[in-house]
Chain A
Amino acid sequence: MSPSPRDVAVVATSQTSSYRRFDDSEPKLIMRCVNEVLQSTGLDRNDVQFTIAGSCDYLSGMPFAFVMNIDGVGAWPPVYESHVEMDGAWALFEAWLRLQLGDIDVALVIGSGKSSPGRPREVFALQTDPYLMAPLGMDPVSLAGIQARALLDAGKASERDFAEVVARSRRDAQRNPHAQVAKDATVDQLLDAPYFSAPLRTHDLPPISDGAAAVIIAAGDRARELSDNPVWIRGMDHRIESHHPGLRDLTRSVSSELAAENVGLADAPVDVAELMVNYSPEELILRDALGLGDGTTVNPSGGPLAGHPVMATGLIRVIEVADRIQEGSASRGVAHASSGPCLQQNLVCVMDGSG
């Protein structure tokens, strides 16, 4: 695979708070983010040459829900845009490749979702194979529980390790103005809580959230014009694994390992990592898969355990890393996004501030 020949950078970011229930519409969440990134770059809507959004119709229970999101994106005069039924992180992947064609320099990327109108545990059960798994009622929480159990049985983690992830996440989230779940709790207090779906406790699960996020990316000199501190995307890759949990080693994330290798994650120190840890045990698997050691600060925002606006969650990981590089508290970082039960599909994005 040929290396990326064109430098592309994140030049503006915006995210809404993570709301337990946002009573107004999803386009309104999107519009807030779009206006903010336009304002911070000084760009007019017509200066954006390509727009791409990630969202999921099923969250609001309405086919074509994404069409209404266009009202928040802005599409008059008509725009060149596309939509992925995936997290906004995959929209970023497509936009990043689109800018490689060289004919356009500025793209707007959006991720948005409102989980509050539905019952996510039942909705996400529809991600499973419709013939062999869905009829069994396999829902994402139960599948995450199976993955956690596999870690325990393999001796790779303890329930205390899960609780430590949660305690740190909630502590760090207190410094994140967008966080939904941010409060002090000791590991022992957490371990006293009853099981929800053993070995998972309620705090091992992400909250139900509504929210949106947007970034503007730009190529080469255009990026330098639009930002004093552009954050360069040095590599992105994503990979998928078998859908059938029985065909996988659930204690590893082979697709994350592969993606990390393809972007050269280990080639230089990683100061900060924002991982899409939807269930606390996933952090242990992902740290291992990405080869992150003590020198890497993981999920300083609190991560998805502190706020999980589905379909924006992955793009927010990119934003959290980019913001830290932009403000100078980190020089190189990695963002991770996932999709599907038991970390079936994983994306990594390496960024730095040099150049």
Chain B
Amino acid sequence: MARPCAVVGIGQTDYRRQLDMTLDGLVRWAALEALEDATMTFADVDAIVIGKAPDALEAVMMPELSLADALGAVGKPIHRVHTAGSVGASTAITGATLVESGRYERVLVVCYEKQSEGNATWALSGGRSGGQGAGGTFAPWIRSYISRSGAPEHIGWKIAVKDRLNALKNPHAHLRIDDISIEKVKESPMLWDPLHFLESCPSSDGAAAVVLASEDVARRSPRPPAWIVAHAKRTEFSSFPGRDTVRPVAGVDCAEALYAKAGITDPLHQIDCAELYVPFSWYEPMWLEGHLITPEGQGWKLTDAGETELGGGFPVNPSGGVLSSNPIGASGLIRCLEAANQVRGTAGNYQVDGASVALGHAYGGAAQYFAMWIVSSDLNPDFR
């Protein structure tokens, strides 16, 4: 039967270009930091789970094979997850499942991407198509959200500024734009209407890792654990007549399942902060609404009122988010581990005061794959 699982160690590389480092070096950096945080070594790990976006991004097929030595996996099980952009969160959830199943006590989860070794927009376009890329896919849906919700144009600019200001507080962040401003965002080149250059995520290198542990191990851990209170995943077809691409049903279903499992009835007030997968500015209000945190049409108002800023009522992406660092395959795991950082009180300069319940989220494909978890400083948080 399912037993509790917690995050007991977190490791992250710097997310800037790492031209002098191999893939082995990158994953080992994150893994060793996570193990050190958990006061463990590779010898303590029962199983390893790795995740990344398409292998073609670095032209290494099934990299769990060539990375086995660097990850201390020799003689152990290593499992590989790939669920498009949501993969980082999916990998975290698979790792949690392995512990919850009762099979393993300590699981090392590692995700990475090294965009400097490939061409992501080529790969994100299916490798053979016309180079539409992720921005080209999402821009029309964002336009549709704007027209449906009546949100003013400046919402996107505002989010672009907020996440970059947060990134200045995060030593791992890729983008550091000291003089970021609304003016600067709206004057940056238009890439895919309505998305400006500065409303888009960067191409980053990096790896992230967490050590997941059973309740017994977590209780003995010297540092505070982040208990995984609930996790959920949902997937739908990429395209069919009548599909709601602005508010995909899979995203709504995923949130409903997640909150039901956690016992959350009022996410906006019962969750203290969220790390949402926002690769393009407008996805902040789209997911606030699409994951039932606000009613439909109200997400942008929360943003506009400054409530999603660090210090607001519902901080979103206090780490700077995907808009500031996007090692694709790792980005979902980074959302999940930053949520854990908040409830462990280890988020440093971007700590949300008193955070005890946090949401980590990722989506992928044509906004069709969803993976989310709720972490808490309490194994059984009281939401009354």
Binding site for B on A (CB under 8 A): 1-2, 4-6, 56-58, 61-64, 66-68, 70-71, 75-86, 90, 93-94, 97-98, 100-103, 123-124, 126-131, 133, 237-244, 247, 254-255, 258, 339-341, 344-345
CB-CB contacts below 8 Å: B94-120 with A: 94, 97-98, 100-104
Tell whether, in the assembled complex, residue A241 and residue B68 are in contact, meaning their CB atoms are under 8 Å apart.
yes
A102 → chain B closest CB, angstroms = 4
Given the complex of chains A and B, what is the CA–CA distance between A1 and B97 in angstroms?
Answer: 15
Given the known interface contacts A80-B234, A237-B77, A239-B75, the answer about A86 and B68 at a Cβ–Cβ threshold of 8 Å is no
Give 27 pairs: A residue, B residue, CB < 8 Å, sorted on A: A5-B102, A57-B56, A64-B123, A64-B124, A70-B235, A75-B235, A78-B235, A78-B249, A78-B253, A81-B233, A83-B82, A83-B83, A84-B79, A85-B62, A97-B97, A101-B1, A101-B100, A123-B61, A127-B60, A130-B66, A239-B76, A239-B77, A240-B65, A240-B68, A240-B73, A242-B69, A345-B78
Closest to A238 in B: B77
CB-CB contacts below 8 Å: B7-64 with A: 22-23, 46, 53-62, 64
Given the complex of chains A and B, what is the CA–CA distance between A82 and B232 in angstroms?
Answer: 11
Contacts of A97 in B (CB 8 A): 97-98, 101, 103
Contacts of B65 in A (CB 8 A): 127, 240, 243, 339-341, 344-345
Given the complex of chains A and B, what is the CA–CA distance between A2 and B104 in angstroms?
Answer: 8
Tell whether, in the assembled complex, residue B126 and residue A76 are in contact, meaning their CB atoms are under 8 Å apart.
no
Tell whether, in the assembled complex, residue B253 and residue A240 are in contact, meaning their CB atoms are under 8 Å apart.
no
Given the complex of chains A and B, what is the CA–CA distance between A19 and B190 in angstroms?
Answer: 48
Which of B67, B90, B100, B237 is A75 in contact with, Cβ under 8 Å? B237
**Does any Cβ of A come within 8 Å of B128's Cβ?**
yes
**Does any Cβ of A come within 8 Å of B305's Cβ?**
no
Tell whether, in the assembled complex, residue B127 and residue A63 are in contact, meaning their CB atoms are under 8 Å apart.
yes
Closest to A96 in B: B101
Binding site for A on B (CB under 8 A): 1-2, 22-23, 46, 53-62, 64-69, 73-84, 90, 93-94, 97-98, 100-104, 123-124, 126-128, 232-238, 240, 248-250, 253-254, 257, 365-366, 368
Contacts of A102 in B (CB 8 A): 1-2
Most B CB contacts (10 A, CB to CB) among A62, A240, A254 go to A240
Given the complex of chains A and B, what is the CA–CA distance between A279 and B55 in angstroms?
Answer: 25
B193 → chain A closest CB, angstroms = 24
Given the complex of chains A and B, what is the CA–CA distance between A68 and B1 in angstroms?
Answer: 34
Which of A67, A80, A81, A94 is B238 in contact with, Cβ under 8 Å? A67
Given the complex of chains A and B, what is the CA–CA distance between A247 and B97 in angstroms?
Answer: 33
Contacts of A85 in B (CB 8 A): 55, 62, 80-82
A88 → chain B closest CB, angstroms = 13
> Can you list the 7 inter-chain pairs with the closest CB atoms, starting with the nearest?
A63-B54, A78-B250, A100-B101, A101-B2, A85-B82, A126-B61, A97-B101
A340 → chain B closest CB, angstroms = 4
B190 → chain A closest CB, angstroms = 26
Most A CB contacts (10 A, CB to CB) among B60, B65, B84 go to B65
Contacts of A82 in B (CB 8 A): 81, 83, 90, 93-94, 233
Closest to A259 in B: B77
B329 → chain A closest CB, angstroms = 11
Given the complex of chains A and B, what is the CA–CA distance between A161 and B94 in angstroms?
Answer: 42
Contacts of B238 in A (CB 8 A): 67-68, 70
B60 → chain A closest CB, angstroms = 5
B108 → chain A closest CB, angstroms = 13
Given the known interface contacts A58-B61, A64-B365, A70-B237, the answer about A84 and B81 at a Cβ–Cβ threshold of 8 Å is yes
Given the known interface contacts A78-B250, A101-B101, the answer about A84 and B82 at a Cβ–Cβ threshold of 8 Å is yes
Tell whether, in the assembled complex, residue A130 and residue B235 are in contact, meaning their CB atoms are under 8 Å apart.
no
Contacts of A86 in B (CB 8 A): 62, 64, 79-80
Given the complex of chains A and B, what is the CA–CA distance between A351 and B365 in angstroms?
Answer: 36
Most A CB contacts (10 A, CB to CB) among B98, B101, B257 go to B101
Closest to A58 in B: B61
Contacts of B76 in A (CB 8 A): 239-240
Tell whether, in the assembled complex, residue A244 and residue B69 are in contact, meaning their CB atoms are under 8 Å apart.
yes
Given the known interface contacts A70-B237, A103-B2, A126-B59, the answer about A77 and B249 at a Cβ–Cβ threshold of 8 Å is yes
B123 → chain A closest CB, angstroms = 4
Closest to A247 in B: B69
Which of B98, B124, B234 is A79 in contact with, Cβ under 8 Å? B234
A98 → chain B closest CB, angstroms = 6
Given the complex of chains A and B, what is the CA–CA distance between A316 and B208 in angstroms?
Answer: 34
Contacts of B56 in A (CB 8 A): 57-58, 63
Contacts of A1 in B (CB 8 A): 46, 103-104
Tell whether, in the assembled complex, residue B233 and residue A93 are in contact, meaning their CB atoms are under 8 Å apart.
no
Contacts of A5 in B (CB 8 A): 1, 102
Given the complex of chains A and B, what is the CA–CA distance between A337 and B323 in angstroms?
Answer: 41
Closest to A79 in B: B235
A314 → chain B closest CB, angstroms = 13
Closest to B58 in A: A130
Contacts of A57 in B (CB 8 A): 54-56, 82
Contacts of B232 in A (CB 8 A): 80
Closest to B120 in A: A63
Closest to B98 in A: A97
Given A64-B126, A85-B82, A98-B101, 5 new contacts (CB under 8 A): A56-B61, A56-B62, A75-B236, A102-B2, A238-B77
A130 → chain B closest CB, angstroms = 5
Given the complex of chains A and B, what is the CA–CA distance between A247 and B69 in angstroms?
Answer: 11
Contacts of B234 in A (CB 8 A): 78-80
Tell whether, in the assembled complex, residue B60 and residue A130 are in contact, meaning their CB atoms are under 8 Å apart.
yes
Contacts of A62 in B (CB 8 A): 126-128
Contacts of B124 in A (CB 8 A): 63-64
Contacts of A80 in B (CB 8 A): 232-235, 257
Contacts of B365 in A (CB 8 A): 64, 67
Given the known interface contacts A241-B68, A243-B69, the answer about A90 and B79 at a Cβ–Cβ threshold of 8 Å is yes
Contacts of A131 in B (CB 8 A): 22
Tell whether, in the assembled complex, residue B83 and residue A129 are in contact, meaning their CB atoms are under 8 Å apart.
no
A345 → chain B closest CB, angstroms = 7
Most A CB contacts (10 A, CB to CB) among B75, B76, B124, B235 go to B235
Given the complex of chains A and B, what is the CA–CA distance between A253 and B60 in angstroms?
Answer: 24
Contacts of B57 in A (CB 8 A): 63
Closest to B54 in A: A63
Tell whether, in the assembled complex, residue A66 and residue B22 are in contact, meaning their CB atoms are under 8 Å apart.
no
Tell whether, in the assembled complex, residue A339 and residue B102 are in contact, meaning their CB atoms are under 8 Å apart.
no
Given the complex of chains A and B, what is the CA–CA distance between A100 and B5 in angstroms?
Answer: 14
Closest to A55 in B: B82
